Amino acid sequence: MLLIRSSQFSKLIRARHLLAIHNPFIRGAQSGQSSSVSRAVLIGKRAKLQQPEQQRLSSWFTPRSAQMATAATDNEEIPEIQQEEHKLPPHPTGPQQKFRKDYAPPPYTISTVHLDFILEEETTTVSSRLRVLPNYGLLEEGASRPALKLDGRKDAKLVRVAVAGNELAEGQYTATEKQLTLNNLPPGEFEVEVVTELRPQDNSLLEGLYKSSGNFCTQCEAEGFRGITFFLDRPDVMAKYTTRIEADEANYPVLLSNGNLKESGKLEGGRHYAVWEDPFPKPCYLFALVAGKLSMKERSFTTCSGREVALRIFVQENNLSKVDHALESLIKSMKWDEDTFGREYDLDLFNIVAVDDFNMGAMENKALNIFNSRLVLASPETATDLDYSRIEGVVGHEYFHNWTGNRVTCRDWFQLTLKEGLTVFRDQEFTADMNSRAVKRIEDVMVLRNSQFTEDAGPMAHPIRPESYIKMDNFYTVTVYEKGAEIVRLYDTLLGKEGFRKGMDLYFQRYDGHAVTCDDFLAAMADANNVNLDTLGRWYSQAGTPNLHVSTSYDAAAKTYTLFCRQNTAPSPGQDVKQPVLIPIKLGLLGPDGADLPLRLRGSDGSVTDLGTTGVLRFEEAESSFQFEGVEVEPVPSLLRGFSAPVKMQVEGQTDEHLLFLLAHDSDPFNRWESGQRLARKLLLKLYAAAAAGGGDHSAKAVGERCTAAGGVPDAFVGAYRAVLGDETLDGSFKAMAVSLPTGNELMDSIEGADPPLLYQVRMFVVKQLALQLRPELEALVAANDDQPGETYHFTAAACAHRAIKNRCLAMLSSLEEPEITHMLLNRFKAATNMTDEIAALSCLVELAGPDRDTALAAFYDKFKDEPLVLLKWLGLQATSNAPGNVALIKKLVDHPAFNITNPNNCYSLFLGFGRSPVNFHAADGSGYAFMGDAVLRVDTINHQVAARMVSAFSTWRQYDSERQVMMRAQLERIVSHPGLSDNVFEIASKSLK
Ligand code: PHE
Ligand code: ZN
């Protein structure tokens, strides 16, 4: 997976976190129209087939060659939403935007690739031999054959080019920094040979071939292969690869590439070689090579058809003891994909290599996954429960790509969500099955709300299938990944497990070995289930989070209960007008005792359908109503169970009493959590308004007084938390999340001109009040969930649950800032036997100013100075800290020997960590912004992708008060006009300013 989702991790919760903006729902008169109960279409039972099967036949599978020969865009099937061209200001180096609508198949394809790498300390030589096939169809009379334009990069030096065995002299080809153009090509198939020279040791972009900790490795997604050799660097060109690697044997004993090892041997002068062959055609973004000094641990997996697969993880020698969890996770993933989707692994070997310098999380290269080492290595002493769980999820994610991404790949990069949304969905389901489904769902929704909703409401908003980009790297976003997964989940919710599986089977059957589009996926799902999913298709082209407004009415005489639903989506950059989308509303109705009532849904034709106690309504128009009959008493509705659609829902007339009732009784665990969140959100926003109205003194004391005057934290709220904490039926992980307040980011979107430090104070006030009033309960839970003496660490759902609730309670208690508690935390920190507990205690201490903070940080550094992954936590905790005036400390950290600015993980921990501090990044004097602006420009000279992630910290500037807006804008303007800026940073900064 991924994009370093950790770039935005909240330290408060074990979730990838987010920000959010709220578009107030446009209210309209809507209630009381029981006569207009219109179309209640029920899902999952295939009650209505709005489109006959044969209408879809035309979109059935087209062979790849045919597909390539037609310049069809993928717009036809999924309805288009009006989209203006997203105009950008001029840029000194003139970056080009690419548009989805411009897709055309390439005039040539490549069937086989032979690569030969001569790896040396100074110059690496890459010889590439391509079998090129014409793909231009019939030429008009007299027309000359099209040119072959191969993508390149300026640091890949062209040494030789030959066509059909003839070396071309200068003048017989055109070469620019970015492209090699070959003209006068022979008819039919022919061979092209290209030799390039590279300096991987100087490649700090970490795209293409580079060195990490002395080893050679590659990263080719999205467009890194062109940094290795001139090529048709696009995913719809799929070829079979043979790769020969030659290197010094002592320094690079391990030589790996995709597929199977065909041959290896010794050469003169202490050198050796290996030849790898990948039998599966693949796009070049899945190519990989590794050469280095690595140790390996191996396990074996027997597939469902009885084949033995060797599973190997390669790491540096000193890390060999930390790979067991990743290996275990891989085995679980392989088994799960067989059991759940009938997908078997297709080669006899599956390799994973861990590297320290990696821009993202991990990469699914065919049979040779390359991972950021932080997503492979784990031991109880160095990794937290969250690390263990991420490793399991990401190992699964990359493995699942073998079918969703590699066997069936994307036609062009606009289709990225085809593989990523689907694979995230699959990894989410895997984790849900391995651990707790409810806990996983809540975590995923927290991520979505915290960062995706914010992205969707800001200047970088884009549909899950974007319409244009300058740098594809910038579109590995929470929208493409996480919202993309939510859209895949819509199919699952609408079609049911069985229907979804049928759709997946058809998708693989039709498209195995091909490069396809999101429309193809939708078509497979629709065809396999004989349903019309056109309104679901709109989610692919529309940016922004839809608002769902629900009002209800109960007719006691007729015993009917009616839901009136409305939806709208606010305009986003380039999209002023939005259409309604298909929103599956999963729901239940609670009776007075808290039990679910039977759902009898009345259709527009008067027929009644029995939905059991949890049903799914298919809401796909601007307005619809749904009527239930036989409802004996007015129920409390539990809507959007399991968060059945990525929308913002407003329920008219939903009172605190309703929410307290749902929190106590809902049979849907997600909605129990959600009701608590809604209560907390209301409370925090109310207190924030009071605090903001009270003038300029934003000290904790002044803010506390204003909040208290506004009613403070009501008893009912405290009581609800008390009930959750004491509920024996709930597991600790769920409880921990249920008593966590919504993040500041999530609230920000509901506040016009927000002041982040003030919001932070308000939130801390509430935490403190809760801790004061619930102290006995919190202390009791700490005791009850503490380790037994001598207990060893296990990564099991049960053990994680104990640690989760214990550490949440400790964090709440630490807000009291009492010497006794602080002392207890220091003792816990010293005595901790696993990283989960150790970091939990340390993160509390880091928020407190004073000697204990410094002692603890120094001790931690001393203990882990030789563990770079643990030092990331040390950097991150300090960077994210809200201890006032922390900017000065962070500036010093940049010069600390432990900090390495060329390593992406270091930058993410320090700079992105800092960007998450409401107090210090948003310091009123602008010092945090200036620091970040400088850091962006500095990092951009090293690594454009990392710098682009950093500059995103400024994208939310419109959310804040006018002083902060001015300062943040000024940083963006300074960055955009900086000479020599990368296209990556330019794209984010310029779009943010729009
Ligand atoms: N494709 C990777 C994943 O999601 C992410 C990635 C993208 C890694 C680009 C590196 C470069 O699994
Ligand atoms: Zn992925």
- Give the closest residue (by CA) to ligand 1 atom 1: 363
User: What predicted TM-score, i.e. pTM, was given to this entire model?
Assistant: 0.92
Q: Kindly give the distance from the C-alpha atom of residue 973 to the centroid of ligand 1, in angstroms, as a whole number.
A: 30
2 lines ligand 1 (CB under 6 A): yes
Taking the CA of 476 as reference, the closest ligand is 1
- Taking the CA of residue 2 as reference, the ligand 1 atom at the shortest distance is 4
**What does the pLDDT average to over 819-839?**
97
524 CA → ligand 2 middle, Å: 21
Give me ligand 2 centre to Cα 502, in Å.
23
Q: Express each pLDDT in 252-292 by its tens digit.
A: 999 999 999 999 999 999 999 999 999 999 999 999 999 99
Q: How far apart are CA 480 and CA 461, in angstroms?
A: 11
Determine the distance separating the centroid of ligand 2 and the alpha carbon of 2, expressed in angstroms.
Answer: 5
Whether residue 83 has pLDDT greater than 80: no
In ligand 1, which atom is closest to the CA atom of 401?
Answer: 12
Q: What is the dihedral of CA 797, 800, 806, 807, to 10 degrees?
A: -140
Choose among 480, 477, 473: nearest CA to 945: 473
Residue nearest to atom 3 of ligand 1 (CA): 1
CA distances from 861 to 822, 829, 875 (A): 20, 13, 10
- Tell me, using a 6 A CB cutoff, whether residue 360 lines ligand 1: yes
Active site residue 398: yes
**Rounded distance from Cα 424 to ligand 2 centre (Å):** 7
Distance 799 CA to ligand 1 centre (A): 31
Q: What is the mean pLDDT of the chain?
A: 91
Determine if ligand 1 sits within 6 Å of the CB of residue 397.
yes
Per-residue pLDDT at 30: 30
Residues 826 and 853: beta-carbon distance below 8 Å: no
Q: What is the pLDDT of residue 46?
A: 27
Please give the pLDDT value at position 94: 65
Distance in angstroms (rounded) separating the CA atoms of residues 905 and 887: 20
What φ, ψ does residue 215 adopt, rounded to 5°? -100, 150
Indicate whether 974 pLDDT > 70.
yes
- The whole-number pLDDT of residue 93 equals 52
Summarize pLDDT for 29-58 with one digit per residue, the tens: 233 233 222 222 332 222 222 333 222 222
Closest residue by CA, ligand 1 atom 5: 2
- From the CB of 394, is ligand 1 less than 6 Å away? no
- Ligand nearest, relative to CA of residue 475: 1
Least confident window among 5-19, 291-305, 784-798, 806-820 = 5-19
**CB distance 476 to ligand 1 below 6 Å:** yes
The pick from 360, 394, 402, 908 for probing ligand 1's pocket by mutation, whose C-beta has the most ligand atoms within 8 angstroms, reads 360
Residues with CB under 5 A from ligand 2 (ion): 1, 420, 423
Q: How many CA atoms are closer than 13 Å to the CA of 555, on its beta-carbon side?
A: 16
Q: Looking at ligand 1, which residue's alpha carbon is closest to its atom 7?
A: 221
472 Cβ closer than 6 Å to some ligand 1 atom? no
Cα 401 to middle of ligand 2, angstroms: 7
Using CA atoms, how far apart are residues 579 and 361, in angstroms rounded to an integer? 35
Ligand that lies nearest to the alpha carbon of residue 285, given by its number in the listed order: 1
At 922 the pLDDT is 98
pLDDT at 95: 86
- Residue, of 611 and 12, whose pLDDT is higher: 611
Give the Cα separation of 317 and 315 in Å (integer). 6
What confidence category does residue 850 fall into, taking pLDDT thresholds of 50, 70 and 90? confident
Give the per-residue pLDDT at 753: 96
Residues written for the chain: 994
Nearest atom, ligand 1, residue 3 CA: 5
Q: How does DSSP assign 365-391, residue by residue? A: -TTEEEEEGGGT---TTT--HHHHHHH
What's the rounded mean pLDDT across residues 656-677?
98
Instruction: Return phi, psi of residue 363, to 5°.
Output: -140, 135
Ligand sitting nearest the alpha carbon of 404: 2
Does residue 364 have its Cβ closer than 6 Å to ligand 1?
yes
- What residues form DSSP beta bridges with 42? 617
User: What is the per-residue pLDDT for 159?
Assistant: 98
* Residue 221 beta carbon below 6 angstroms from any ligand 1 atom: yes
595-640 per-position pLDDT tens digit: 999 999 999 899 999 999 999 999 999 999 999 999 999 999 999 9
Largest CA distance in the chain: 95
pLDDT one-digit tens code per residue, 391-410: 999 999 999 999 999 999 99
Among the bound ligands, name the one nearest to the CA of residue 235: 1
Q: Which ligand is nearest to the CA of 364?
A: 1
Determine if ligand 1 sits within 6 Å of the CB of residue 291: no
pLDDT at residue 64 is higher than 60: no
Residues β-bridged to residue 602? 608, 627
Can you say how many angstroms the Cα of residue 961 is from the centroid of all Cα atoms in its chain?
Answer: 29
Cβ of 1 closer than 6 Å to ligand 1, yes or no, is: yes
398 CA distance to ligand 1 middle (Å):
9
Structure confidence by residue, pLDDT tens digits, 667-720: 999 999 999 999 999 999 999 999 999 888 899 999 999 999 999 999 999 999
Ligand 1 geometric centre to CA of 349 (Å): 21
Backbone dihedral angles phi then psi of residue 368, each to the nearest 5 degrees: -145, 70
Query: Which atom of ligand 1 is nearest the CA belonging to 222?
Result: 9
Res. 988: pLDDT tops 70 = yes
d(CA 933, CA 725): 43
Kindly report the three-state secondary structure assignment for every residue of 490-514.
Answer: HHHHHHHHHHHHHHHHHHHHHHCCC
Which residue in 398, 482, 674, 867 is the catalytic one? Answer: 398
Q: How confident is the model at residue 848 (pLDDT cuts 50, 70, 90)?
A: confident
Give DSSP secondary structure letters for 338-350.
Answer: HHHH-PPP-SSEE
Query: ω into residue 432 within 30 of 0, thus cis?
Result: no
Residue whose CA lies nearest to ligand 1 atom number 11: 221
Residue 773 CB: number of other CB atoms within 10 A? 17
The mean pLDDT value for 447-459 works out to 97
Cβ–ligand 1 contact at 420 (below 6 Å): yes
Radius of gyration of the chain (CA): 29
Quick one: pLDDT at residue 884? 86
In tens, the pLDDT along 103-153 reads: 999 999 999 999 999 999 999 999 999 999 999 999 999 899 999 999 999
Cα-to-centroid distance, 370 and ligand 1 (Å): 10
| 115 Cβ below 6 A of ligand 1 | no
Pocket lining: 478 vs ligand 1, CB cutoff 6 Å: no
CA of residue 551 to ligand 1 center, whole Å: 42
| Ligand 1 within 6 A of CB of 363 | yes
pLDDT at 91 over 70: no
Pocket test for ligand 1, best of 3, 424, 949 (most atoms within 8 A of CB): 3
3 has a pLDDT exceeding 80: no
Take atom 12 of ligand 1 and give the residue whose Cα is closest.
1
Give, for 267, the enclosing helix (H) or strand (E).
none
Mean pLDDT score, 521-533: 98
Q: Is 395 in the pocket of ligand 1 (CB under 6 A)?
A: no
pLDDT over 90 at 341, yes or no: yes
Question: For residue range 746-801, what is the model confidence (pLDDT) as tens digits?
Answer: 999 899 999 999 999 999 999 999 999 999 999 999 999 999 888 999 999 999 99
Residue 219 near ligand 1, beta carbon < 6 Å: yes
Nearest atom in ligand 1 to 473's CA: 9
Q: Which ligand is the nearest neighbour of the Cα of 424?
A: 2
Name the residue of 2, 212, 944 to mutate for ligand 1: max ligand atoms within 8 A of Cβ.
Answer: 2
Tell how far the Cα of 418 is from the centroid of ligand 2, in angstroms.
10
